[in-house]
A and B are shown apart, each in its own frame.
Chain A
């Protein structure tokens, strides 16, 4: 299904999103692959149980053998038999700044991934296509690092108190004013962890008697926050506006289940960029629906802040909309700002309420001062307030990199999911064996990629996910593309049946972009 939408003036630019269908043969082979693995898994479990094979995972204490077992055997079936085979693709330890190139510590396993030993060697200059470094602020030199060093020597590393008690430093106030200015909202509040921002603030906003409409593919933090709030949760199909409208209509017309009382409020939870699909939310339509049905919108811009929009202000600027239309703008500082933490921006009443009733303000320690300084410096750089044009150049470089990389991969014949403009590029692998093979082959060629399988994705749709960065130069991208081409031929990953006509290499210009398909 290929959507090219110019929907009645709501969209000011073409919205190209594509999720190519899984080829039938590939789907069948994938199921066969998982079937074989499951059979072998049962066989190995059987052998382990009857002590024919040595059992290598840790076991319960002797004194506690008669306690109720902590884990059910079948819960860990997937872990023991499928995940363990390709475990070396994840948790790879690095020992340098996670910029465009990274140094990795080499590790080997002599017992098929049950234990790892470090050889002591360091693999240098691996092209990093896995870290969330969209604007390249993960640096160990430069203005951000110097400012953070100064603040570290002045304030120390920790804070040792909560925001409402003695942990509210002047730096936090400065940061919040800056974030509010950056987003174009009245007021903002910052928290120490992006995950916790969602899971601790959604329960403060909605409670029993409210309705939450959440996208199918929302992040675990949004799902946890929705569950902890106690509200009723209804799920609409991913990025599908008809499904959302139907749910909204039904909810208002029929009220709460069984008692038929009207809902107290309705909150729609969406994300700016969905990190596993690479798709961008259809924000103009969501806002139109929200206004028509009088509900509230919670936008999680974890991946899209800094990465979309001509000046990096996120998905709202990308679509040319008014930030005041979004009731709660949430985001994280981990991805584009090279720091850690999350924020929520919105009207002053909202932020005042959160200052009083948010779980994080009352019980969790506030942000560390050098991290705050890093955010302040990088945000000023993006906005151009530090007197240079570095920020603007980086945002443009990221957009160019995105378009170039996606176009080249499509030309090569891989199946790529997601929107044309999203810097998150999922490349479909499908078969379980190729997950491990792709990760290892790319590492041999000095490129670090991220592969994801079940349970983060549906079982047959495992993928490799590339995260582009403004720090990637064209040479790095070309090297990476060459290697991906090689590995793609080696592993037969070029499943796409729709070929794009390769464009001549000219500077990208939206108005002349054409796409032809057979």
Chain B
């Protein structure tokens, strides 16, 4: 039979095309200059890398650590001198509590020290499960999840929910762990001025107009607000009721970081939600670390099961890291017991804070609310020039106080890494164990030091 004409012509063209391809020069997608082997070797010889780390000057303020001999409790021995401790975040004084220590001892005798494995592979102990239940019950949420390191808690929780393409509205004064969590999540970050609800509303409105232009994309873009209960960098609290209103108006989820307000604010120490009387289910995720009020190590997140259960498979710090040593979990459980049995310590702590807040007005600007237990005291004088000089001045104030028996510390930041670097300040921490005489002594000493150094 005869093939039709167009068939033959098509086949002919195809054969010609194949012949052309066979004989044409191959081309590479990336244009690479043709260097000879000798030139390449010369380049390799010539290349000089930078040193792995630049040298650090010997008198860098962050290089010489204070050495604490013995436990960092109420009376602390710093660099050989005995002082009253106004620098450790031991708000409820549980670091030296005998009941906590004996609970930890019992756990040590039963389980040893380490857990030798992540939670998924024989690293889940009954103490962990018990601690998670107790925390969930205490905070009156459905479920809680424990991390073995406070920093990793919020830094793993945020990337588990917020991915590339999602939008996160975060306060400027957010702490470093939140910043790292946001960086790991690769989402769009929108900063709003510290505690400025009008600024936040403006950003939300802008986002809304953007959404109307592209409703399909808006339907899958998740939105979050990340705020702290008590800000570490400035010492004040966030206006939670207004945030809840904004949440329902613009359909944004709220993640609350309560490291400093857990165990301090609220009638029973449940944090800022109790302080403002807000239903805890309105907050999507509460994350806190156990290294402050609970005087242990680690962190936890609590909320509804719908949200928390997701972290068990996608929280990086949970799945890929060894679990919390059982003795620390047992110490945290005992600390929770003490908190539940003595609800009046919170009132005592608040009274002490108000007292010292009043006493410190004057030469140092004290930035925080009167009932907050961290006071960031800053210099009121206009900066002499550079941040370095301010830091040196504050160091002299701190040294003066330490020589007279009050242990203080400057707030430490990584200057190059922070998004919005707070001004240098001295951090004064109020704990339940400090007596009124000691508080008065600290206040007067600070005033004296500031006067003598600044003049």
Contact = CB atoms under 8 A, between A and B. Distances in A.
A363 B176 contact: yes
Contacts of B310: 70-71
Contacts of B321: 193-196, 221
Nearest to B175: A363
Contacts of B410: 165
Contact of A94 (B48, B56, B124, B184): B124
Interface in A48-105: 58-61, 63-64, 66-72, 79, 83, 90-99, 102, 105
B21 interface: no
B304 A167 contact: no
A382 interface: no
A357 interface: yes
Contacts of A140: 108-112
Interface stretch (A348-356, A412-420, A479-487): A348-356
A133 interface: yes
A297 to B, nearest CB: 10
Interface string A131-142: 111000111100
A94 B89 contact: no
A266 interface: yes
A180 interface: no
In this complex, which of B50, B122, B220, B416 has the most chain A Cβ atoms within 10 angstroms of its Cβ?
B122
A364 B116 CA distance: 22
B221 interface: yes
A58 B62 contact: no
A450 B412 contact: no
Interface string A202-221: 00010000000000000111
Given A91-B124, A349-B55, A166 B66 contact: yes
Contacts of A374: 113-114
In the complex, which range does the number of interface residues on chain A fall in?
35 or more
A362 B104 contact: no
B150 A364 contact: yes
Given A266-B49, A327-B52, A340-B115, A157 B309 contact: no
A219 B223 CA distance: 30
Contact of A153 (B49, B101, B180): B101
Given A61-B281, A140-B111, A166-B72, A67 B122 contact: no
A170 B223 CA distance: 46
Interface string B207-250: 00000000000111111000000000000000000000000100
Interface string B43-59: 11001111111111000
A272 interface: no
A319 to B, nearest CB: 22
B176 to A, nearest CB: 5
Contacts of B248: 63
Nearest to B411: A165
Contacts of B223: 68
B328 interface: yes
A365 B412 CA distance: 13
B296 interface: yes
A169 interface: yes
A80 to B, nearest CB: 11
Contacts of A42: none
Contacts of A362: 62, 176, 412-414
Given A161-B87, A196-B149, A96 B110 contact: yes
Given A157-B101, A157-B104, A194 B125 contact: no
A58 B305 contact: yes
Interface string A338-372: 11100000000110111111011111110111110
A160 B295 contact: yes
A158 B219 contact: no
B113 A58 contact: no
Interface stretch (A30-38, A246-254, A493-501, A502-510): A246-254
Interface in A440-473: 448, 450
B292 to A, nearest CB: 6
Contacts of B295: 156-158, 160
B53 A349 contact: yes
Nearest to A263: B49
Contact of A359 (B50, B111, B112, B176): B176
A359 B180 contact: yes
Contact of B122 (A164, A364, A448): A448
Contact of B151 (A59, A145, A166, A363): A363
A145 B413 contact: no
Interface stretch (B312-320, B342-350, B432-440, B446-454): B312-320
A374 B40 CA distance: 52
A154 B71 contact: yes
A158 B55 contact: no
Interface stretch (A288-296, A387-395, A396-404): A288-296
Nearest to B109: A140
Contacts of B55: 349, 353
B341 interface: no
A177 interface: no
Contacts of A448: 122
B180 A160 contact: no
B39 to A, nearest CB: 8
B412 A349 contact: no
B297 A355 contact: no
B60 interface: yes
Given A131-B117, A194-B322, A339-B114, A169 B68 contact: yes
B425 interface: no
A148 interface: yes
A98 B122 contact: yes
A337 interface: yes
Contact of A167 (B32, B72, B219, B325): B72
Interface string B114-153: 1111011111111001000000000000000000111110
A252 B41 CA distance: 10
Contacts of B117: 98, 130-132
B114 to A, nearest CB: 4
A241 B320 CA distance: 27
Contacts of A356: 56, 60, 62-63
Top-5 shortest CB links A-B: A353-B53, A193-B149, A58-B306, A195-B321, A364-B151
Interface of B: 32, 35, 40, 43-44, 47-56, 60, 62-63, 65-73, 76, 78, 85, 87-90, 95-96, 100-101, 104-105, 108-117, 119-126, 129, 148-152, 155, 161, 175-177, 180, 183-184, 218-223, 248, 251, 253, 281, 289-292, 294-297, 304-307, 309-310, 312-313, 316-317, 319-322, 324-325, 327-328, 331, 407, 409-414, 416-417, 427
15 contacts: A71-B310, A96-B110, A98-B114, A130-B122, A158-B291, A159-B88, A164-B62, A166-B85, A170-B70, A200-B151, A263-B47, A335-B116, A339-B325, A359-B180, A363-B412
Given A363-B176, A371-B113, 19 more contacts: A58-B305, A59-B306, A68-B251, A72-B220, A98-B122, A131-B121, A140-B110, A152-B108, A153-B105, A156-B71, A158-B95, A164-B65, A165-B87, A165-B409, A196-B149, A221-B316, A295-B49, A363-B412, A365-B297
